[in-house]
Every structure is written in C-alpha cells, then in structure tokens.
Structure 1
Amino acid sequence: MSLIVQKFGGTSVADTSKILAAARRATEMHQAGHQVVMVVSARGKKTDELVRLAAEMTDSPTPREMDMLLSTGEQESVALMAMAIHKLGGDAISLTGSQIGVVTDSSHTKARIISISTERMRTALNEGKIVIAAGFQGRDKDWNITTLGRGGSDTTATALAAVLEADMCEIYTDVEGVFTTDPRIVPEAHKVDSISYDEMLELASLGAGVLHSRSIEFAKKYQVPLKVRPSFSDGEGTLIAAEPLADASVVTGVAFVRDEVRVSLTDIPDEPGIMSSIFTRMSERKICLDMIVQDVGTGGVARVSFTVPQSDLAETLTAASEAIDAIGSGKIQHGTNLSKVSIVGSGMRNHYGVASRMFSILAGAGINVGMITTSEIKVTVLVDRNQCEEAVRVIHNGFELDRLTSYSFATNQKLPAGECSEESSQRLTQLEQEIIDQLANMEDIVVSEVLLDQSQSRVTVRNLPDNPGICSRLFSVVAEGGVSVDMIVQNMGEEEQAHLSFTVPRTSLEKSLELVRPLLSEWGNAELSHEEAIAKLSVVGIGLRSHTGVGQSMFSALAESQINIQMINTSETRISAVVALEHGEQAYQGLLKKFELD
C-alpha cells in the first residue's frame, strides 16, 4: 500500500470549514487505498496571536518558553483535525512532535532535526488510521519542546516523507503551485507543471515564498517527490522532483527579495586567512550570508561584500566589526534600500549569453546593476529597491516566460494504491531500518563533492562607471564574439565605480581580451587585467545557505594551507573560489579532507 504525506498550512486550516475540507482530502485519499500522514500547521494567525501574547507579558521571553508557547498552536490544529476526520467516519490519531519522535538539537526557536522514529506512526498506519502530525516542532535529548523556525511545517512534512519512504509529499497551500514569478507583480506569470529540486532551491531561498529551502533540501537529499497543490481547488499543482528528461527551459522563473542590505569590508589584507577570519565571526552569530562577492585584490588589499536580510543588519555589522578588529585593518561600509533579483533555469547549463541578455533587458529599462553573482543555473543582481518590481517585470517579459513550455521529470518508481505485494512489503520493512540509520543527524550539512577546474582564465575590468548598460555592453560584445563566460563577479568600489571579473576557458582568453580592449575608451579610467591560468574550486551540496558553517569550513581549510583567495562566488548549492593555479591541487586535497571526502 502506497503512503502519502499531506501538509496543510495555516491558511488551509484557518477555521472549522477549512479544517473539514482538509479532512475530506485526507479521507478521500485514505479511502482510495493509500496510507496517509497529515502534517498540520497552527491555524491562520494563531502563531502571531501567541507572539503578541508573549510580548504583552515580557519584552524578553526566553527561547525555551517561546517554544513551549508556540507549539500549542499545532497541538490545537491536530486535535481539531482528528475530530473532523472522526466526524467524517474515518479513524485518525493526532500526535505532537514529541509523540512522533522528532528529536532535534537544543537550538530553541530554530532547531534542526537529528532523527525521527517511525515505530508509532507505522503502528497507527498499519491499524488503518490516518496519522495527524504536528508540524514545526520536536523535542531535544532532554525532552524540552523545540520548534524548527521559519518553514518548520514544510520541513516536518518532507522529513517524515523521507523517513517513511513516502510515495509523494503533497504541500497544500493557498496558491495554485509554483509560478514563473509573483503574479501580483507580473499578471502574465503562470504556473509551471514541473520544476527540478535545484531550480526550486534557488527560487525558494531567493524569495519565491511557496516552500522554505530546508524542506526542499530534505526532498533532494532523500529523493522525495514533492507536489505543491492548491488547498482551495482540485488543481494538480507543481511537481518538484529530479532533473528534467527533456531539454529544460533556459529560464524557468524570476525570483526576488525586496528587503536586502549590502555589507562590504574594504581595505582588508589580500592574504591567506582573511576570509576565514571574517566568516568565522559570521558563523558564530548564525548569520546566513547570501550573495558573497570577492573580486581580485589590488595593491595588497581586497574587498568582500555580501548581502543579508534587512532584519540582520545590526547583528551583521557587529560581527563585521569583530572581524576587522581581529584582522587589524579594514573599513566597513553598508548599503540599504536594495533588492535582489535572480533568474533561475536548468537550461542555462547548455546556453551561453543568458547573463548578457539579462543585463541588456535591465539596461533597456534604465535599471542599474550593483553586485553580480552567477552559478550554473542562476544569475543574481542587486538593484535599488524602488526598481525591484520593474526589474522583475521587464526580465519576465524579456525572457518571454509567459510562453514557457512545461517539461517532464523522472521520479522514483512507486506502486499504485493497493498494489503492494507481500514481498515488497517485507522489503520495505527491511529498508526502513536502513533508512532510519542513514537519517542520523538528518539536517547535517551534505557536501557531496569538491570540484577542481584548472582550465580557465580570469579577466578583470576595474574602475567601471556605475551606470546602467555597462554590464550589458561588455557581456553582449563577449557573447557576440562567441566566448562562453562561466563565473561573473561584480563588486562595488569607491566613488561610484564598479570592479568586475569573469572567467573564460583558457583557449578563449586572447579572444576575450581582443573583444574587451576596444571598450575601455568608452569608460574613462577603466583598467583591464587578466590572469592566464587560475584554479577554480567549488564545494557542492545541499543546505549550503541554511547552514552557516560551510563557507567557514571551506575558507578555514584554505587558510590552513596558506592559500590566498582571489575571487568568491556563491549560490544555493555551491560556493566557488578562485586561487592561483599552482595552489589548485593542494587546495583541492585540503577541501576533500575538510569535508571528509578523501
């Protein structure tokens, strides 16, 4: 018998009529021959109400007591849901996170899952009951109630689906599925039928808002097919699964985050260990950095910039100040009123000129580009906040995403409801314990591989005017010249000037320089430099952004080997750094050892 996990968010269980509607969905699925586990969030604005009550009581509630309070919202929901299923003639049991056996670390209000027991759930399912699990919560080794933080119920659902080896995890929400961008900003945006884990990771973490990145990390790590479905209609929603079978669209969606701030550490020594010192301070304060950009240093000093949510600015500036004090030199600058806009698409892997097209679209709308980072399937830029929505609109229209063609995915082969043989049932029982064993420390960082690329060259243009159209002009010329660009890094310099570096195949270096040199006369004091042979190192895995220690581990490994970092570029699933070619192999071996991949 196949097993389905269904998650219902707060808006889907906001009142008794919606609770009954969710109960009917689960009951119908159960009557169709499936085992069903429901994961339920607190009703509607219940969590906000509890937070307000705490604030009325004290200005500084302890994290432990906040977890005790907030967990009551889900406990209310699961009990009401069980009553609704009983009313419909079904059999159900409601369970808190502790009763299920969700064991977490002791980081109150933002706990991470260590392990999950399946015994009680399996017993109830085999008795023909619908299991109703409280999302968002668990307990630590001392039996203190903990909560999982933002996106916690999505995380609970995908974690339960992983440990139970569910056939599908359905996330019911108040939207039809995953859209090419926010329909409130772009009315022409439309739902996509299928999307890959990596694409959804980029879109979720960059502000798509349908699913939290932690839940998608679980799904990818344990190959759980996810489906985002509307709770208010019978729509099929969007399947999130493995890589597409057919050719993927070049760009699948446009994501944005409105409230970003930029923090820059300038005039820091361009020497080994500096990045490690900075990122150690950030990691100690659990600050999740997003766009991380370091361009090539000059005159013995370097500059690193990164973005964080507006709400984290004060804490980030404190950590940056501690880093400067430890280093012994440097200055801190920050910029506010910024937004981050990204294009995401698996098809970028097989097409060049995508970044150039994005820059041209923005230039045509008079939108200036600040920082730039790129990955295999993402290009991200920083723009003024008052131009964020216009940037999203023009990019969406420029890439004609309203005409996007859906594509199909390979998913795990599963048995239809009611077609599970005794042999396969026994096999599942044997596998279950193996899976439970594998899921020890479920949310640990998973660095799957370290890559070394020694075939590229670096091109740098310094002192570019910080004006709309500069990036468009440069990369249009390079793309038209037939040069494939890999890593693009743009950082902001002093006096409204930008510094930009990009990497190209070594065989294309001379061609790149020939294409860029004639442009220098258009840009005043712009200076062109290059390095013929570089080594690019990439740490690839799941959970790199939501775990603050990956960058710290990577940079500390390079510091221990006395290797200086020339460039840094980040995405949701990889952190890349450029070092001198002669240090490439040593750096590679050091990273393999650091992440225990040797």
Structure 2
Amino acid sequence: MALIVQKFGGTSVADAEKIRAAAGRALRVQHQGNQVVMVVSAMGKNTDMLVDLAQQVCDDPPAREMDMLLSTGEQVSVALVAMAVHDLGGKAVSLTGGQIGIRTDSSHTKARIQSISSDRMQKHLDEGAIVIAAGFQGADDQLNITTLGRGGSDTTAVALAAVLGADICEIYTDVDGVFTTDPRLVAEARKMTHVSYEEMLELASLGAGVMHSRSIEFGKKFRVPIHVRNSAVFTDTPGSIIGALPESLDRPVSGCALTKNEARIAVAGVPDKPGTSLTIFAQLAALNVAVDMIVQDVGYEGRADMSFTVLEADLNKALKAVREAADAMGAEGVTCEEGLSKVSVVGLGMATQPGVADRMFRALAEHDINIEAITTSDIKVSCLVRREKGIEALRAVHSEFELEKPPADRATYDETIAASKKVDASAVVSELKAMEDLTIHGVALDATQARITLFDVPDHPGICADVFEAVAAEGIVVDMIVQGFGADGLTSVSFTVPAASHDAAKEVAEGLAGRLGGEVATKPRIAILTVTGIGVRSHTGVGLRMFRALSGAAINVEMISTSEVKVNVVVAPEHGDAGIEALKSAFSDVLT
C-alpha cells in the first residue's frame, strides 16, 4: 500500500466547489488502495484578508498574535475539507499543526520546524481515514501557535512526506507544472516533465513561484519525489516531477528565470585584508537580510570593490547597516542602485558542457542589453540588467537555448521515482533533531586554478560576449566568472581557468586589452574554497560563518561568487590548506 501526501494551495480550495473537488480527488486516490494525507492552505485570499484586518486594528501587530490570527485560515480549510470527505462517503480527520505534533522554534511568523511526530497521523491512516493536515503552522515548546512564513504549506507537505516515508508528495496548484520559464512572460515557455532538486532550488531562489525553496530543500535532504500538478485538471494528466534526475543531461540549460525587484549596494575602496567581508555581512545577518549575487572582484593597490544585491523591500535597512560597517572599516564610499533585475539560466548539463556563458552574453548583446554584474556556479549563470530590459533579456536567453523544444531523450517517471530513494522514515524522526537545520554536504579546496582579471574595460553591451568568445575560441575552460560593478563607463571582469591554461588565457586577455583598452592582472595559482549545501541562501548566517572562519585564520578573501547551494571564495594559494581546515572546523556541526 502506497502512502501519498497531497497539498492543495489556496486557489485549489478557494470556494465550496473547489473544496469538494479536492476532497473527491483524495478519495479517488484512496480508493485505488493508497493511504492519503492532505495538506491544505487557507482559502483563496483569506490570509491577505486577515493581514489587512490586523493592520486596521493595530499599526504594529505583535508577531505572536499574528500567528494566532493567521493560523485560523488553515483551520477553517481543514475542517471544511474533512466535512466534504465525509459527505462524499469517506472517513477523514482534520488536524492543526500542533495536534499533528509539528514542533517549531519560537520565531513567530517565520518559524522553522524542529521535529514532527508521525504517531497520531499513522494511527488515523491505519484506521482508514484521510488525514487533513493544516499547512503553514506548528507550535513551539510552550505550545504557542507558530507559522512557517512564505511557502509554509509546501514545506509542511514535503516535511510530512519525509517523516511518513511517503512514496510521493503531490503539490496541486493553479498551473500545469514547472515551466522552462514564467509562461506569463514568455509565451513559448514549455512544461518540463522532470526537473532536478538542484535545478529547482536555483529556479525557486530566482523567483519561480511554483514552490518555495524551503520545501525543495526538504525534498532534496530527505529524497522525497515531488509531483507538481494542476488541481483544475481532474484527469491523470502528469505535471512535473521534482526529483533526483533532470529532464535531460544532453542539454546544458533546463530553464531560465527573472528576478525583477533587485537593488544593488556597492562598497567602494574596501581595505583588501582579512575580515572585510565579515564586517559587512555580520551587520546584514543580524537583520536577517537575505543577500544575493555577492560580487567581490580582485583588489587593486590595497583596495577592493564589493557589491551585492538585496530585494528592494530590504534596501533601506540593509543600506543603513552597510554604511555603518563601511565607516567602521574605512571604506571609500557606499552607493546603491534600484531598478535592476537578474536574469539567470540554470541546468545540470552546464557542469559538463562548455560555452553556456558566452552564448548567454552574446544573446544579451544582440538585444543591446548591458550586463551590470555577473556571478556563476556549476549549474547557473546570472546577469544583472536594467529592469526595463529584464523581460527582453529573459526572452532572449530562452530563445538562445531553444527551451521551447522538448529534449529528444527524457527521463521517465519510473526512472525519477527510482532515483529518488526514500530515506527511512524512522531515521528522519530520530536522527535529525532539527529538520530544517542547515545541511552542508561538503567543503572543498581546488588548488588547480589560475585567475585572469581585465581591469577598466568599456562597460557596454557585448563586452562580456567578446571576452568569453575569445577565450572559448582557444579551447580554454572557464570556471568562476565575476564582473564587478561599473563606474565612469568602465568595469572589470575576472575569471578562473585551469592553471595549465594560464599562459594561453593571459595571452588572450592581453590581446583583448590591447583592442578594448584596460589592464590585465593574473595569478598563475589560486585556491578556491567552496561550501556546498542545502539552505545556503535561506540560512543567512552561512556566509557569515564562512567569512568569520577565514578571518579568524587571518586569510584574506580575494573574490566571492554565490548561488543557492554554493559559496565560492578565492584566496591566495599558500592559504588554501589553512582555509579548508578553518571551514571544516566552522561547519563541523552541520557537515554531512
């Protein structure tokens, strides 16, 4: 007998008709011989209505009371769904998060799950009932009601699937599945049959609204296959499976995304010495500001420039904290820029297939779109562009990689489920005291790379395409790419290559500098330190812990590049061994 967890979002239970339809779907799955747990969100816009009501009676509602208020939305939904199941001839029991045994910390409105008891749910399932679980909520050790914040119901569903050892977690929503990009922005967007956890983590962090990254983190950590389906289509039409396999490894890019409301903070003239990054990011971590697209380029004459993006909603508080840090360290100045968007391409295939970055840069150049900054990881390339060019940039890269066309050789449903081997349910409950703790899969040292930097090259559309097409023409493989922020019409571009390719890459760079202007600086040997894990971005203290460890070891950070699942820093080669030991010690409590 299989166990299936089904999650129904607010639009899927927005009225009585949809509630009965959701109940009917669960009953049909149960009648096929399965045990069923339904996780239900608040009806439609109910949560928004409650938030608005709170603001009408109080300018600054206490977080504890907001949780008490908002949790009622899911309680209404689960009771109504249970009634519908009974009316359709089934047996159901509705449970709040606290009744289930979802224990969280006490961070009201953004709590993290600490543990889940499966005993009560399993008892009801064994008695033939459908369990209707309230999403988005739990209770702390003092039995205060807590809510899990954005994406909370998705997180609840995947977490319950993990502790129950479910065969699959079905997410019912108002779209057909996961698309190659937002179909509201690109008409040619195609529904993917499969997408890997790693790709979905990147896409979710970039604004793909199908699921929140916290729930994908759970899925990856506990190997839960996730099936995203349209609740309005009452057939067995498949959606998209999020699991261990991508749709195809033959293609370098699987999807692309646009993050619209980005703001950039730039700190100029930062002292190029140990502890600089720590000083800045300690301030931001204290405010729980999620920092994205961190770019620190190579220092020059004892000073370096650093920039990073935050959501525009966090700009004011982040800017105040950064200015305080900059004053304390004697930086030359802090500037900010709004009206930016980030366009990114994502794909497991790019880890083994070269040429993605230069194709992306050329596609943007052909549309006269200037790149304001660049960061890369093994499976992602992100470019910062002006917001008014954002949608055009998204369409350009979607077309360049022909994402509207299905791959010839795709993974099957059975292959994906088989690859996502379930973690033993008892192990989930007993071995992980805090289910949402940061999990670090590894810290690594790569001492086989060299660094090339082009200083003061013209900051105009096509410059990056020119650089990396020239590099690719010589058969040189590029790893990290970092473009700093431009000033006075000039910018800098740094990239790493295998040490054996240093001389050839230096020759290409010098040829470009002679043609474009600018200067070239290289290092035949560097050390790249990497922290890889689940929750690297949602746990704002990861970078802080990394920078504190390196600062404590008196190791200067020369370059930084980030992604959803990885932070890369470049240090001097003689500091590589000490750096890796410092990171192993710093992350020993979460290193798996």
Query: Same-fold call, TM > 0.5?
Result: yes
1:585 aligns with 2:577: yes
AA aligned to 1:552 is L
Partner of 1:467: 460
Contact 1:459 1:501 in 2 (8 A): yes
Structure 1 counterpart SS, 2:59: coil
Structure 1 counterpart SS, 2:580: helix
Structure 1 counterpart SS, 2:289: coil
Partner of 2:61: 61
Deviations 1:329-385 (A, max 9, x none): 342111110001000011101111110000000000000001100011100000000
Could you tell me how far apart the structure 2 residues matched to 1:476 and 1:555 are? Answer: 34
Contact 1:252 1:404 in 2 (8 A): no
Partner of 1:533: 525
Could you tell me how far apart the structure 2 residues matched to 1:327 and 1:569 are? Answer: 22
Partner of 1:323: 325
Following TM superposition, by how much is the alpha carbon of 1:475 offset from its aligned partner in structure 2, in angstroms? 0.5
Contact 2:97 2:138 in 1 (8 A): yes
1:263 aligns with 2:247: no
Following TM superposition, by how much is the alpha carbon of 1:245 offset from its aligned partner in structure 2, in angstroms? 8.9
Deviations 1:248-279 (A, max 9, x none): 42110111111100011111110001111111
- Range with bigger deviation, 320-329 or 277-286: 320-329
Following TM superposition, by how much is the alpha carbon of 1:114 offset from its aligned partner in structure 2, in angstroms? 0.6
Partner of 2:499: 506
Partner of 1:491: 484
Could you tell me how far apart the structure 2 residues matched to 1:244 and 1:172 are? Answer: 21
Q: Which of 332, 344, 347 is equivalent to 1:345?
A: 347
AA aligned to 1:560 is G
Partner of 1:147: 147
Partner of 1:419: none
Structure 2 counterpart SS, 1:553: helix
Partner of 2:439: 446
Could you tell me how far apart the structure 2 residues matched to 1:506 and 1:230 are? Answer: 50
Contact 2:177 2:192 in 1 (8 A): yes
Following TM superposition, by how much is the alpha carbon of 1:523 offset from its aligned partner in structure 2, in angstroms? 2.3
Contact 2:9 2:172 in 1 (8 A): yes
Could you tell me how far apart the structure 1 residues matched to 2:498 and 2:426 are? Answer: 47
Partner of 1:229: 229
Could you tell me how far apart the structure 2 residues matched to 1:496 and 1:111 are? Answer: 45
**Which 5+ residue runs of structure 1 have no aligned equivalent?**
416-426
Partner of 1:481: 474
Could you tell me how far apart the structure 2 residues matched to 1:135 and 1:344 are? Answer: 30
Partner of 2:172: 172
Q: Which of 561, 571, 575 is equivalent to 2:563?
A: 571
Following TM superposition, by how much is the alpha carbon of 1:590 offset from its aligned partner in structure 2, in angstroms? 0.8
Could you tell me how far apart the structure 1 residues matched to 2:77 and 2:31 are? Answer: 22
Contact 2:40 2:134 in 1 (8 A): yes
Contact 2:194 2:247 in 1 (8 A): no
Could you tell me how far apart the structure 1 residues matched to 2:406 and 2:377 are? Answer: 21
Structure 2 counterpart SS, 1:11: helix
Could you tell me how far apart the structure 2 residues matched to 1:365 and 1:283 are? Answer: 37
Q: Which of 541, 548, 553 is equivalent to 1:549?
A: 541
Partner of 1:192: 192
Could you tell me how far apart the structure 2 residues matched to 1:502 and 1:142 are? Answer: 51
**Superposed, which structure 2 residues align to 1:376-455 within 5 Å?**
376-405=378-407, 407-408=410-411, 410-413=415-418, 431-455=424-448
Contact 1:248 1:345 in 2 (8 A): no
Alignment length (residue pairs): 584
Partner of 1:107: 107
AA aligned to 1:247 is L
Could you tell me how far apart the structure 1 residues matched to 2:509 and 2:294 are? Answer: 25
AA aligned to 2:503 is E
1:162 aligns with 2:165: no
Following TM superposition, by how much is the alpha carbon of 1:325 offset from its aligned partner in structure 2, in angstroms? 3.5
Following TM superposition, by how much is the alpha carbon of 1:464 offset from its aligned partner in structure 2, in angstroms? 1.6
Following TM superposition, by how much is the alpha carbon of 1:520 offset from its aligned partner in structure 2, in angstroms? 1.5
1:131 aligns with 2:124: no
Could you tell me how far apart the structure 2 residues matched to 1:414 and 1:82 are? Answer: 34
Partner of 2:362: 360
Could you tell me how far apart the structure 2 residues matched to 1:259 and 1:243 are? Answer: 31
Contact 2:267 2:333 in 1 (8 A): yes
Structure 2 counterpart SS, 1:489: strand
Following TM superposition, by how much is the alpha carbon of 1:411 offset from its aligned partner in structure 2, in angstroms? 3.9
Contact 2:194 2:245 in 1 (8 A): no
Deviations 1:108-128 (A, max 9, x none): 111111111111101111111
Could you tell me how far apart the structure 2 residues matched to 1:388 and 1:584 are? Answer: 38
Could you tell me how far apart the structure 1 residues matched to 2:220 and 2:439 are? Answer: 11
Contact 1:163 1:439 in 2 (8 A): no
Structure 1 counterpart SS, 2:211: coil
Q: Percent identity?
A: 54
Following TM superposition, by how much is the alpha carbon of 1:398 offset from its aligned partner in structure 2, in angstroms? 1.2
Using the size of structure 1 for normalisation, the TM-score is: 0.96
Following TM superposition, by how much is the alpha carbon of 1:413 offset from its aligned partner in structure 2, in angstroms? 4.2
Deviations 1:118-170 (A, max 9, x none): 11101111111000000001111111111111101000001111111110000
Following TM superposition, by how much is the alpha carbon of 1:516 offset from its aligned partner in structure 2, in angstroms? 2.1
1:562 aligns with 2:554: yes
Contact 2:41 2:134 in 1 (8 A): yes
AA aligned to 1:515 is V
Contact 1:63 1:109 in 2 (8 A): yes
**Which 5+ residue runs of structure 2 have no aligned equivalent?**
none
Could you tell me how far apart the structure 2 residues matched to 1:510 and 1:302 are? Answer: 25
Deviations 1:431-455 (A, max 9, x none): 5433211231001010110011000
Contact 2:192 2:247 in 1 (8 A): no
CA 1:245–1:370: 2 relative to 1, 3 Å: closer
Following TM superposition, by how much is the alpha carbon of 1:414 offset from its aligned partner in structure 2, in angstroms? 10
Contact 2:274 2:554 in 1 (8 A): yes
Contact 2:107 2:146 in 1 (8 A): yes
Contact 2:270 2:305 in 1 (8 A): yes
Following TM superposition, by how much is the alpha carbon of 1:327 offset from its aligned partner in structure 2, in angstroms? 2.0
Following TM superposition, by how much is the alpha carbon of 1:522 offset from its aligned partner in structure 2, in angstroms? 3.1
Structure 1 counterpart SS, 2:435: coil
Partner of 2:286: 284
Structure 2 counterpart SS, 1:401: coil
AA aligned to 2:434 is N
CA 1:445–1:528: 2 relative to 1, 3 Å: same
Partner of 2:25: 25
Contact 2:222 2:428 in 1 (8 A): no
Structure 2 counterpart SS, 1:534: strand
Structure 1 counterpart SS, 2:404: helix
Deviations 1:465-503 (A, max 9, x none): 110000011101111111100000011143132111000
Contact 2:268 2:331 in 1 (8 A): no
